[in-house]
Structure formats: C-alpha cells, structure tokens
Structure 1
Amino acid sequence: MSDKTMKRFFKGVGYGLLWLVSLVIVAVGVFWATEQGVIGEWFPQFSSEPESTVQVDSFATNNGSDAFEEAVHVQTGKTFHMVETAPRFHVAAIDEEITHTMAELRQSFAEKYNEEMERQQLNSKAPISEKRPFYQLDYEIEAVNDSVYAITFESMIYNDDTLANRASQVLLVDVEAESVSPLADIFETKNETDEAVATDDDTMTNEESTKDSKDSTKSLVDSVQEALASEHGEDVKLATFTQDFPTIEALLPYMTVNKAGIALTFDAEQVASAKATAETYTVELSWEELNASINDEWREYLDLPELTPEVAYAQGDQPWTPVTRGPASTDGKKRVALTYDDGPGGEETTGRLLKMLEQHNAKATFYMLGDVVEYNPEMAQRVHKAGHEIGNHSWGHPVLPSLGPAGAAESIAKAEESIKKAVGQGTKHYRPPYGERTMEVDEAIGKPAILWSIDTQDWRTRNAQSVFEEVRSKVQDGDIILMHDIHPETIDASALILDYLDSQGFEMVTVSELMGY
C-alpha cells in the first residue's frame, strides 16, 4: 500500500466514514478471518489497549503469483492508526518468520504508543494531538530465482503527517525448502567465535574463517565505493567507511534485493564529497560484481561461477612467503614496529595518537590510502614532520590481485603521487589491502610488500582491552603489529600498548628501521 494510497485512505474520507467502512469490513472480515484462524495473529502487545480498537485481516490473491497472498492488517484507536501489508505463503515456517520480523519492526511504534499512554495517565489534562501517530509497514517482493523470493520490508512512523522514523529489513524466502534467511546469510560473515568449519579436504580454522569474513566485507565495500564513483562522480565515496561500516551487517539496512543483484541507498551525510548535492545516493551491484563477497551456498543458489584463483583471494594457500616480521635483534634490544592502516584519520584518532607516540619517544609506520591523503593532506604532513614513516596502502583500498599486475601498479602509483604531493617525498614499501598480493603484483609495483605478524583485529572488535590483550599475549622481538588509526578504540588501545611495551623494554621503530631498508 503506497503513501499516496494511505493519504487518500485517511485524509480523503472523514473519520465518521472511516468508522462506518471499518465496521462493515469487520462484520464480514471477522467472520471470514475467524474461519481462517488469522484474527489476532499480528496484534501488537500494547501496554494499554485503547477501547476503540478495530482490527481487520484480509487477503487478496491479485498479486500475480501463486506462491503467496497479500495480507493487510488495519488497526485504529484513540491515539494511533496502523496499517501493515505483508505476503503470506501459507507455509508455517515461512509465515511465522515473517510475523516475527513484522513484530520487530513494529516494536518502535509500540514503544512510542506506550509512552503516549503513560503520559496521558500521568497528566489527564495533557493535550492529545488531533492528528494521531500513524504506523505504516509496506513491502516489495522480488523473485531471485524460481524458488527464492527477496522481501524488503519498510516501516514508517508519521507524527503530524511528518515522517519521524524509517527502517527496513530484507528476508530471503525459499519456497521449495520452506525456509527463511536474513540477507546477511548471503555473505561470508563468519567471525572468530565460530567453530571450525569442515571442508572437503581439511578444516578451516577460526583464524581463516575470520579472514574470509574480513575479506568479504572489504570486497563488498570496495564494490560499493567503485560504484559510487562510477555512477555519481569520482569524488563521491562513503564517508570514513571503514569506521562507519566495519561489518557487512552494518550495510544491510541500506540494501534492497532484486533478480539482478543488490541496490544500496545512502543519505547525503553518509557520503563524503565536496560536490554532493543529492539527498540520496543509490548504487546497483550485480550478483556477478558481488561474487567475491558471497558464500559458497548462495553462490550455487544464484548460479554464479566459482571464483577463479586470482579473485578467490581468501581461499587456498599462497605460493610465496610474505614479509610478516623483522629479523631477530643482534644487539640484545627488543624491537617492534607499530603500523597503522587506512588513514590518515582525524584529530580524535591520528592526532591523538601522535601525541601519545611523542610522549613515549616511539616511532610508527602509517600505511596511508592515497585518496584519504588527498582529502586530508594536513594530517599526513603532521605524521611526516613528527618523524614517523609513511607507507603506501593503495588508492581506494582495492584487492590488488583482482586488478592484475598493471592495475595494481596503477593504484599504488596514484597513491604514491598523492603522498608525495602532501609530504614532499615518496614511500619505500607498500602494504597490500587485506594482505593480498602475488609475486607478479610485487614485481609490477617494484616495492617490498609488508604484512604483519600480529593482527589485533581492532577493526572488528572495536574494543581497546581486547586489542591490547592481543598484543600483550603475543608480542616478541621483531613483530610487526597491525592496527588502524581511524578508530577511537584503537587509539585507546595504543595508550595501553605503549605503556606495556615501554615497561617490557621494547623499542618502537619504523618498518624501514626494523627491516633495514
């Protein structure tokens, strides 16, 4: 039921006519629906149910599909109106999950209603708005294939005809399997708490599973970034995306699904662009473009090709030994290299970190993204002037092997130009995004590739104590420690790490100092 239809429904007729029509519907609808056993199935649990409540459940079969019918629920009372529409498949497992999802989306409206009733009970003279709050739940349904449907629910709360809140959720319904999955199930979103995952040949460890999730997330974000630039202009990108969208789950509210793929719509404040003029920015990604982010089960569902070795960067052993740590000390001193990726960040992150490093007489290496340096050259200059090292982390954070050697070299060269322009000199080495590289890519780039020996997982946990414990429990002479200077929690963790390393007699040096470059 569209917004336009709703306005005609509630504004185009007077309340007297509304009640008359509603009573007629109830007289017929209650008899029919009672026979079908559906009355009350969606009734929300309000703390104080109004006396004048009308509830109608009705079904229409003119949706063009034999797989489902459309259910409409109308409820109106002294202090609210509510209209919900949803598909009904007459399959218990599917309909129960849809009902549960509707209840979750309705909860925010129920809370507002309960607050209003409490206000009236506390103050009997409190004015009651002539225009009652209105809750509307609509849906769109798309056939993904012959068996799977994608249902996008959108809930809207109106106060005095003004949209006060909007939320959405996508469910994937498999009619043949009689199952319902959240949209997140399409993607590789395992984390380190998962149990080991059995494969045909061996067992995937928790660490490898976590890496799959991280790579899947980054691959999806890269695809979104590229689509934004392609469809809306090169300077349009998600604002501080690695901080705002650290997991695929955080992107889900912006997604809708269709047979061709997924569309994402962002508000203007979620986009960083000096030329941003639109209220919203939408990008569309085909299933083929999303292939590297989708798990094996749904890849088969969607009839997508298996990943080639070049694209399957998270799967299988690499045919080389990457640089992950420095050589052992020969003079009795313990040395480590603190490294920070994806910046430079702002004053509350990178700026605060620089002060901490100075207090500890510590040096660090910052692997910067060329496009972020272009956006924030002043912070790059501050890092350089403080005596820290800047490394190259590419332009736009792509999966370098997927670009091919020439494309990877171009990404690094573009970032190099941005860094050189900001600080007056280039870099000695690079860190490939996600740690993904090949010998061919290394040769094309012509710089040493530096990975890490300790991955703090700061991007995922966003917990200072957890990040600190990861370092404290593992750190040894020669370690290269991976963190990101765009998360406030990482900076909090760095304070603990610096104190601890100092207390244990570690010297904190740059990567070039550690490696002898």
Structure 2
Amino acid sequence: MQFIHKVYMVLALLVLILIGLVFTPVVMNQEKSRQLKATEEVTQSAYPGIDIVTEVVEEQDYYKAIHYPVFKQERLNIEINNYVAEETAVFLDEVNDQRDVLKERDWQAVFHLTFDIHALNDGVYALVFSSDSLVAGANGRQMAKVFMLDVEEGDYILGEALVKDSQDTRKAIYEGVLAELEASPAYKDLYFHDMLEEWIETTNFSNLYLKEDALVFTFDKYEITAGAAGSPDIELPLESFLHVLNPSWVSRLQLETEAMETENAEPDDTVINQDDDASEKAGDAVTAERHVVALTFDDGPHPENTSKALQLLEKYQMKATFFMLGSRIDFYPDLVKEVFNQGHEIGNHTWNHKQLTKITDKAIQEEIHSVDQKLQDVIGQPATVFRPPYGATNAHVESFLNVPSVLWTIDTLDWKTKSPESILAEVKTGLKPGAIVLMHDIHETTVEALELILPYLKEQGYTSVQVSEVLEMNK
C-alpha cells in the first residue's frame, strides 16, 4: 500500500511538471502579447471617422514600425487588421529564418508598414498601404495594397465595382498604362509587355484607387516591371478615363465636377532660397562662444509626445528641428502648424521612411518632393533641411535635394535603450558647441529624457537652436 502511495506521488509530480511545461510558454506568450500591446497607441487623425494606430517595436534583430487606421465600424477593421497581421507575419517569419545571418552580420532587419489617405467625398476614402521590409538579402520586399471604402456606410468598395468592365475598357486601361510606362524615364526600360498583358487579362482591378484628378494603379514590385523599378504607381488623368468607370460611381462621387476643378492644378515645387532663409532665422551671427547645439527629432510628429516636447522647449526657451514623415504630416496637420508657429524648424524625412539608396530615382523623387508639397499646403513653405532615413545617403541621393542634408554628431540611441538616463548620458558624452543631437519624438521615454536634457544644457551654458543655425556656424 505504501508502495502504491509513492507511485501516485511520483505520477502527480510528473503531471504537475507536464502542466508547467505546457502552460509556461502560454503564460510567457500572453505576457509578451501584453508587452507588445503596450507599444500600441491610438490617436485621432485629421480625417473624420479615422483614428490611427501606431506600433513601434525594437528588438535586437529587427525594427518594426506600423501605422494603420481604426474605424468605428468593426467590419471595416477586420479586413485591414487581417492584412496588417499577414504582412507582419511574413516579415517575422523571414527574420526567424535569417536569425543566424542577422546575428553573424550584427544586422537589424527593418519593417515599415504605413498608408496614405485620399479623401474623395461623402466619407469615401482610398487607403493605399505600403509595406517595405529588408531582412538579410540585398533586395527588400515591397508590396502595396489598396482599400477603397465608404466610412458612412461601413462598407468596402471593390475595384471591379468601380470599373465598367468590358474588352473596350480593358483595352483603354492597358493602352493608358502602357503609354505612361513608355513616357516615364523611370519605367520605360524596366517594364515587361508580357507581364502587363497578363495583368490586364486577369486583373479584378483590386489595385485601382481614385484620386480627385486621376485613376491610379499601384503595382507590387516585380508585378509588371523589373525589381529596380520598385512598386510603380501609374496615374491616368481622370478627365480622359471617366468612360471606363461605372456611371453610377461617376455620378455619386461627382467626379466630373472634381476633374474640372483640378484639371489645371499643378504641384507647387517652390523651394525657399536657403541662404536668405537661414540668415533671417539666425539673427545675430552664431559663434562657438554662444555654446549652441541643435536638438533634432525624427519620425514624427506624434500627437502626444511632440506636444509635450513643444511645452518643454517653450519652458526653457529653446528651439529644435523636427524631421517629419510626410505620412505623419498628413495625419496631424494642425500639430505641424503648431510646431512651425512656435518657431521651430521643420525638416523633410521622406514620406514613408524608405531607404533612399535602395529605390528607384522616381521613388526617391516622390519620397522627397511629396513631403515638400504637403508642407507647402499646411504651413505655406517646404522644408528647409532634409534628413535621409537611417542616415543612408550618397551623392546620387543628394542630387535630388534643394536644401542641406543633415545627419548628426550625437546619436542618443533613444529608440534602443528607452532609458531617459541613458539618453542624457549620451548627450553629456558628446556635448560640444555645434553638436547635432539625434532623437525621436515618437517615443514617450525620449520626452522624459528631454525633461533632463534641457535643464542640463541650461546649467552648462548651452541653448538649442534650429539646425540651420548650427550648419551656418559649422561652415
């Protein structure tokens, strides 16, 4: 009997061990999930009915930044959430497959997923997602996804419902896309006739979206062009292609009226004379004796963190430079105006944070100039300085610029440490007159660090000015 009792004790112990082995990973995964969700932030955008989720995750072997919309209608959220989850899973699977290579090269994989909003009318929007990842290979993965939806109705609008599908329609679209490819210096030597023909024969027009003045077809990398072309967007002028759309949608969206209103609109590529602008902002001559530095912030604006940073800078009477992403400017135009009106400098950090040394000339131009056009609309002038994402630049990239390209002398590593004390320590180590400090106003811990940095600069006799002034000083 005593023997049987001992057997039961051993069996019970084994059961407990097995339960622990089974449920411990579950608990760990749940804890990991909670930590991941803690990095998510939901903020209101400038577009009615659309909030923005921002998720930024940094690990030893990868960096992930995701922006996607949230709607009140759950039906609209399900499809977009599934798309975001699928794209993220593809990236993480590739990271897992290449983990040894990443460790060997001491390389951090990068994943960016963001979107642009094109508002038509009556709550109808086109959302164009851009997914870019670079893991261990020389060529990254670039994918595009289009969603057209009616927020008021809580429903998606399929591309095949927009188009009056027929052989004549497909022929007209094919000839229009072909003509645009032939006329484009970026694409004319990189597209493939057979791939274009296959696309027009099989497409359900899921890659079609409408802007006020154009039908736009967005293609994945390698879909109709060589990889060097990236993910091309082909625009067909609306006034010439209204006949391919269903009459009901032409009437509903009032496209004929809008096409007439925008027919003569041209983008404003005006660039401020940098020398005149710098001299106006600099005021007195900048000298090393003044002990000035430039605090700079990348990847914003962020509706909460940037606002807090502005309050701190005002408190200590210092200026900064905010290198903004075009996609974020589009989401928070009022905040951009506030930054500008408080006397801070606004820099161009590209539209979607793509690595410019790895994309086509056309894509480089779009990444840079689309930001300046948006700033022209929001604050009445383009950016006065530029910072390339990841600091990745070369002479060819610089040839697209009309303003100074600015890197940094102090990398606070705020994205990595998430420690206000460590960020302050990096500033202390590299501090000297004319220093340019790199931070990111998308992180709450960076704003907490700013509360330590600003009084420290004051104690040391330093003040922060716009980076253009420091560039002038360092000439």
Report the structure number with the largest CA radius of gyration. 1
TM-score by length of 1: 0.44
Q: Which has more helix, going by share of residues?
A: 2
Higher relative contact order (CA 8 A, sep 6+): 2
Q: TM-score, normalised by structure 2?
A: 0.48
